[in-house]
Amino acid sequence: MLYTQIMRRILISCLLVFGAFSQKAQAQYPDGFVEEVAYDQFNVAAGILFADTNLSVVWGLNGTVWLISNNQVEDTPVIDISEEVAFYGDLGMIGATLDPNFMENGFIYLFYCTDTHYLRFYGTADYDPNAIDSKVSMGRITRYTIDLENLVLLDNSRKILLGDEMGTGLPICAPAHGVGQLMFGNDGSLIASTGDGNTWAGSPSGGGFNGQGPLPAYAHDDIALDYNILKEEEQLGAFRAQYLDGLNGKILRINPETGEGLPNNPFYDASDSSSPRSKIWAMGFRNPYRFTVKPNTGGGNLESGAPGTIVLSDVGDWVWEEINFVTESGGNYGWPIFQGPMRYGFYADVSTNNVNAPNPLGSSSCSEYLNYQDVILQENLQHEYFFPNPCDPSLTIDEETTTFVHKRPALSFANSANANNEIVPLIAAASTFDGNGEANFTSVEDAGVIGSSFTGISGSGGVFMEGDGIPEEYQGWYTLADFSGWLRVIKFDETNEPLEIETWNESIGPVVHITQSPFDQCLYVTTISP
C-alpha cells in the first residue's frame, strides 16, 4: 500500500473513525453502531493507543507521537524522531504499542524504518537534516519512557531493542514491505511483524526476485549490501521470507526488556540469543502489515511461551490477500512459494538455494544445497508427507534438515487487480481439500459461509470485538478492512473457519489501522482521507 505524503486523520466508530469521511449512504451498520469522526487534525496518523480513560496516544508515519489528555491534543508531539524515520513509499513509523504496565512505567515502543542518510552520517560533518536516502532502509524497534505526571518525554530514556547499528536491524531493500505491527502477546512478550523487504515491481523471469539476476525496478539489494544493511547471503529478494537466519517476512517474538529472542521460540539458538533465528515465531510472509492477538488465548509469562493466537493480514502480490491464524510456533505460511491457498506460479519454480539446507547427496551433477522449494510442501488432508531428495527422489531429505508444511490462510480474498487477467477467480475463498485429500479452495458461498464473496487490494487487518458495549450477536467477531476502502466483519468458529461475513461500509476510506478502546469499547479506525 502506497501512502506517502497523503493526509491521514483518525476516523473512529462506536464505530468511530480516525481520519477519512465515508459516504454515509454506503454504510450499512447494524443497530447499536454509529459512525463519528473522533479526530481529524493529525497529519499522517498511523494509529491510536489507549492508556486509560483520560490518556491516549497517536503515532504518525512521519515519526511523531502525540498525547491526548482529557480529550485534548497536546500542543506539541511528546516524541519527534522525524529526522531519523524513513517516510517515503510504504515506509515510515508503522508500529507502536504501550507496555502493559504503561501507567506505572511510561514505556512506549516504536517500530519504524530508519533513514539511511541519518544512520550513516548523523553526528558527522556530512549529515544534512534535509537529505533523504530513498532507496534502502533498516527497521528498528526503540523504547522510550514518558513522564506521565508532566506528560513529557523522560530525558535519556531511549533504548534500542532491534537495529542498534547497521546490519542488526530489518533489511529493507525497496520502498515497501518494511516494518509492520508491534503488539504485546498475552504472555508479556513483544511481537513484531516484518515484510520481506522486497519490491512489488519487476518480473521473476529476470531473476531479480531471488538475487540470481538483474534487480527489478525499485529493489536495491546491492546498495543495502554496500551499506551493511544486508548480508551477502540475504540477497534473496522475496525468498528472504524463507531464510531462517534473517528477520524478513517473519513474526518476531522478543524480550521487551532486552530485545533478545526467547528460549521457547521455535528456532532459538542458545549460543546467540540475539540472532535472527532466535527471535522468529513464525515465517513465510510477504507483508504482514497488521495483526492482532486474539483475546482469551495464550497467557502466562515469558517462560510459558504462549503469546496467544496471532491473527494477521498478509498483503498479497496482485493475486490473493490472506487472513492467517498463527496458533502455534514455527509455522511456515508459504510466501513466496505459496500465496493464498495455492502455489504461486511466479516464484514456485524459481529454484533458489537454501544455504541452511546442505544436501549430503550433493555432487558435481547435483547442487550441494537443497532449494527452498524442496523443504516445504502443500498441506494435505491425510497429513502424510514425503520430502524427496532432488539428487535421488527415491530417498527422503535428511531428517536433520528443517522442513515445513504450508500453513494455509483461514480466509483468502482475490486482489481486484485480477479483474482483467483472470489469474484467480474474483472471490473470497476458504481453504479446503478435494476428493483426493489434496489442498484446494472454494468460494465462501460454496463453503456454506453466510454472506457473499468480495475482493480487495491490500488487507489492513482488524480486531476481535468484545466487551459489554458490543451487542451480544457480534461478540467475538473479527473486523477486517481493506486499503480500497471497505470494512467487513467476520464470524469464525472455534477451528478458525469462517461462518458469516457482513459488509458494514464500502467507502470508509483507505484503512491503515483498527483497534478497540478497552474503556469506551468503540472501534477506532485510522484512515487516509479520500
pLDDT truncated to tens, each residue of the chain (530 aa)?
544 333 344 444 356 655 544 445 467 999 889 899 888 888 899 999 999 999 999 999 999 999 999 999 999 999 999 999 999 989 999 999 999 999 999 999 999 999 999 999 999 999 999 998 888 999 999 999 999 999 999 999 999 999 999 999 999 999 999 999 999 999 999 999 999 999 876 545 444 444 444 444 567 888 999 999 999 999 998 999 999 999 999 999 999 999 999 999 999 999 999 999 999 999 999 999 999 999 999 999 999 999 999 999 999 988 999 999 999 999 999 999 999 999 998 888 888 999 999 999 999 899 999 999 999 999 999 999 999 999 999 999 999 999 999 999 999 999 998 877 777 899 999 999 999 999 999 999 999 999 999 999 999 999 999 999 899 999 999 999 999 999 999 999 999 999 999 999 999 999 999 999 999 999 999 998 64
- 436's CB contacts (< 8 A; 6+ apart) are none
pLDDT of residue 207: 42
CA 199 to the chain's CA centroid: 16
Cβ-in-10-Å burial (0-12, 13-18, 19+) of 214 comes to: exposed
Which of 486, 406, 190 is CA-nearest to residue 310?
Answer: 190
| Strand 523-528, strand 16-18: pairing | parallel
Answer yes or no: are the C-beta atoms of 216 and 199 closer than 8 Å. yes
pLDDT of residue 529: 63
Rounded Cα gap, residues 340 and 70, in angstroms? 44
pLDDT of residue 172: 96
Cα Rg of the chain, angstroms: 22
The C-alpha cell of 443 is what? Answer: 468460494
CA 34 to the chain's CA centroid: 29
Name the CATH topology of 8-528.
Neuraminidase (2.120.10)
pLDDT of residue 41: 85
Rounded Cα gap, residues 415 and 413, in angstroms? 7
Rounded Cα gap, residues 90 and 93, in angstroms? 10
Which of 280, 286, 282, 410 is CA-nearest to residue 344?
Answer: 286
pLDDT of residue 134: 86
pLDDT of residue 178: 95
Phi then psi dihedrals of residue 57, to 5 deg: -130, 130
The contacts found for 382-389 with CB under 8 angstroms, 24 or more apart, are 382/437, 389/359, 389/361
